[in-house]
Amino acid sequence: MCCQVLDIAELAKPAGVRCRHCVSGEGCGIYAARPAACGEFYCGYLALPFISTSWFPDDCGMMIYPDAAHGRLAVHVDPARPDAWRAAPYHSDLRQWARAADRMGFQVYVAIGRRIIAILPDADVDLGIFGPDDQLVYERATIDGRTVMTARKVAHSPDARELPKPNIRI
């Protein structure tokens, strides 16, 4: 699934397009000489102990990417199955992870190509298509006397404080 959903600049492979080096039923055809981005990547399905077997990437059509450097957990969805994340048990898992992430200062989002959906503890926020300079910003706001997490897309400007971009590339 990582060979399908991720953008790999070193191979000029856009997100949502199967890598030309991916051999069906076998995996990477250039594994020994794969680019650094591929070699440094690790799949959340394999690395995170709380992920159930229902999240096997080839079966569910999604790939989990823990981005600890930016404090985010990304779920990259196969564009051929754009609503896979909404089905059971995936959406309830995403919501549970968002609640846990909120307590730990992390965030959860879904990426379908360049379309970003922030998964908040109590809501999904479809932020639309992100350009290469757009940033995903999470903030706390007080609404009706209670503090809630919000998410928004911000166009990057040279004067803006540098904020982590959504991890739509590896």
At residue 158, the pLDDT reads 54
Kind and range of the H or E element at 124? strand 124-129
At residue 159, the pLDDT reads 52
- How much is the average pLDDT of 89-118? 94
For 151, residues 6+ apart whose C-beta sits below 8 A from its C-beta are 107, 109, 118, 120, 125, 127, 136, 137, 138, 139
pTM, to two decimals: 0.83
**Res. 100: pLDDT tops 70:** yes
At residue 121, the pLDDT reads 93
Q: Which residues pair with 74 in a beta bridge?
A: 65, 109
At residue 160, the pLDDT reads 46
Residues 75-87 have pLDDT tens digits of: 999 989 999 999 9
Least confident of 26-35, 104-113, 154-163: 154-163
Percent with pLDDT over 70 in the chain: 91
Q: Which residues pair with 136 in a beta bridge?
A: 153
